[in-house]
Every structure is written in structure tokens, then in C-alpha cells.
Amino acid sequence: MFQNVDEAVEILIDKLPKLDKSWFIISISKKGDKIAEIIAKKFNLNFDRLFLQSVPCPQNIDCQVAVISEFEDILFNEPIKESFKITSSSLIETIRVIYDYKLKQDRKTYRGQNRNLQIPQYISKVILVDNQIETGFFMELGLESMKRFNLDNIIVASLIIPEYIEPLFMNKPNIKLIYSKKVEFYTEFDDYFMELTK
């Protein structure tokens, strides 16, 4: 158990390679922003957020049937689709509404303008950051969205991962996974900290 998030971030930073100006830090969630900001300040680098939005299952809103990125990349949760007998085409209108009225609004609030994430041309390496990787679904789409940029290396960085996540990223070319703590069974993020700052 960590004392607080700052302690967990310091452990994560100690596992990073030496970062120069060819690196860029990208958070994939609001909760990942603080971690991305700490890493960026530590190495005097720039950071931004890649906006991803969950699409709830129409039959059960507690289930995530898809994720869409600000670049309009879509990753479907195939087991959920099959369980509820949902077709991709039946979700398109729902995904479009979520993209237009949720993701785009959040992005505009964050950046002050309605534009997609931009990575400078001189950047060849990025760190994709989140506070946790519970299923790997969001991070998989984050990696898919990075394919449009000319990157040599990507580090996937998270404070906490369950054991079953590690194999998902182990054999991907030019991708390295680092984390502060690996747990056998993931419960809730708050359970791994003695104190949390609001």
C-alpha cells in the first residue's frame, strides 16, 4: 500500500528511462492528468491529454460496449457485444451522439478550442499515462490512436495494474509497460493508498 499518490508517482518515475526533449507525455484520462503533469515537470517536458470516451451498453449501462477516441477511432468490446447480441452498426448513432455532445465538449473545455491532440514533429517517443489499467481497453485504444504519429517508442505507464494486464503489452513492438505496483486481484484504486488528496 502506498502512503499517497505522490509516493506512487515517484516509484513510477524511478522506473522511467532518462527522458530528453524527444519525449512527450500524454494522459488518457482526467485522473491521469496529475501523473502526466508531475512527470512532465520533473523532466521539463510538455504534456497533453488524449480524449477517450466510454460507450455504455444500451441494455446495461454499467457495461462498456465500446470506446471512441477524439480521432474517431473506435474499439468495440466484442464479448459484451456478443453477450447482448449487439451489432456494430446499431451502435453508430449512439457513438456519434457521445462523440459530438460529450467528448468534443470535454476536449474544448480542456484545450480552449475544439481541436485534436497534436504532437510536434520532432517528438519520436511518448509516454501514455493513466492512474490505473483495469482492463486495458482504454489503453489499447490509446495505442491505436498513436499509430497516426511517427513514433519510435511508446511507454505505457500506470500506477497500478492487475497481473493479467501485463501479458497484453509484453510482446507489442516498440512498446514498454511500466507500473508502480502489480496486484494479483484489482479492487478499487483508492484501496491502495493510505491517504488520497481530493
Provide the residue-wise pLDDT of the chain in tens; the chain has 198 residues: 899 999 999 999 999 999 999 999 999 999 999 999 999 999 999 999 999 999 999 998 888 999 999 999 999 999 999 999 999 999 999 999 999 999 999 999 999 988 999 999 999 999 999 999 999 999 999 999 999 999 999 999 999 999 999 999 988 889 999 999 999 988 989 899 998 655
Q: How far apart are CA 49 and CA 107, in angstroms?
A: 9
**What length is written for the chain?**
198
Euclidean distance between CA atoms 10 and 13, whole angstroms: 5
Q: Which domains does the chain have, with CATH numbers?
A: 5-50+117-186 (3.40.50.2020), 52-111 (3.30.1310)
Closest listed residue to residue 126, CA positions, set 113, 135, 139, 137: 139
Model pTM? Answer: 0.93
